[in-house]
């Protein structure tokens, strides 16, 4: 089994950078079993396609417009994921929707997909997360680690 943990978002657009920040924290603080890859995908969109080849499970971390209070964490899976991007938060989400569609068209879409998202407070230019989102980074890290444990891929602290 191969798993990709993909953090997407723009780190110079405040809370939109949550995905890459969470992935970087996972890289810095944990060791993962073989078969688990972590990638700060930024805003690369279709350029991420080669990373999906051979992946059986995809775990995405991103800022997501939910209409809920800033800092609210949501978990989506399967068919819920593409529909979550109908309300665009930022241009990179069109890239992710296209990426998943092209992967499916080429026959190598992951068998299972999970998105851990968070409602941003701001996507204005800036390199810092807002307070409400920053306080949820630890919870997002724990949610990702728990998802990996459910998939039989427990991480260990460095």
Find out whether 11 and 20 touch, Cβ atoms under 8 Å: yes
What is the β-pairing status of strands 112-118 and 73-77? Answer: antiparallel
For 117-154, the pLDDT digits (tens) are 999 999 999 999 999 999 999 999 999 999 999 999 99
Q: Is the pTM of this model over 0.75?
A: yes
Whether 22 and 55 have beta carbons less than 8 Å apart is answered as no
Give the residue ranges of DSSP H helices in 30-79.
49-52
Burial class (CB in 10 A: 0-12, 13-18, 19+), 130: middle
Domains and CATH numbers, the chain: 3-157 (3.40.50.1450)
The strand pairing partners of 61, in sequence order, are: 7, 116
Task: Report the distance separating Cα 74 and Cα 40, nearest Å.
Answer: 20
Q: Residue 92 pLDDT more than 80?
A: no
Sheet holding 36-42, edge to edge: 36-42, 3-8, 57-63, 112-118, 73-77
């Amino acid at each position: 089994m191969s798993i990709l943990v993909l953090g997407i978002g723009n780190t110079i657009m405040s809370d939109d950078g949550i995905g890459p920040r969470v992935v970087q924290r996972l890289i810095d603080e944990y060791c993962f079993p073989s078969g688990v890859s972590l990638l700060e995908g930024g805003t690369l969109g279709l350029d991420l396609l080669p990373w999906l080849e051979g992946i059986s499970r995809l775990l995405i971390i991103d800022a997501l417009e939910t209409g809920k209070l800033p800092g609210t964490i949501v978990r989506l899976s399967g068919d819920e994921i593409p529909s979550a991007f109908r309300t665009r938060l930022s241009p990179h989400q069109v890239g992710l929707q296209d990426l998943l569609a092209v992967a499916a068209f080429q026959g190598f879409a992951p068998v299972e997909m999970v998105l851990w998202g968070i409602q941003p407070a701001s996507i204005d230019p800036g390199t810092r997360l807002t307070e409400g989102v920053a306080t949820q980074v630890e919870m997002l890290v724990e949610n990702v680690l728990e998802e990996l444990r459910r998939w039989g891929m427990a991480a260990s602290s460095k």
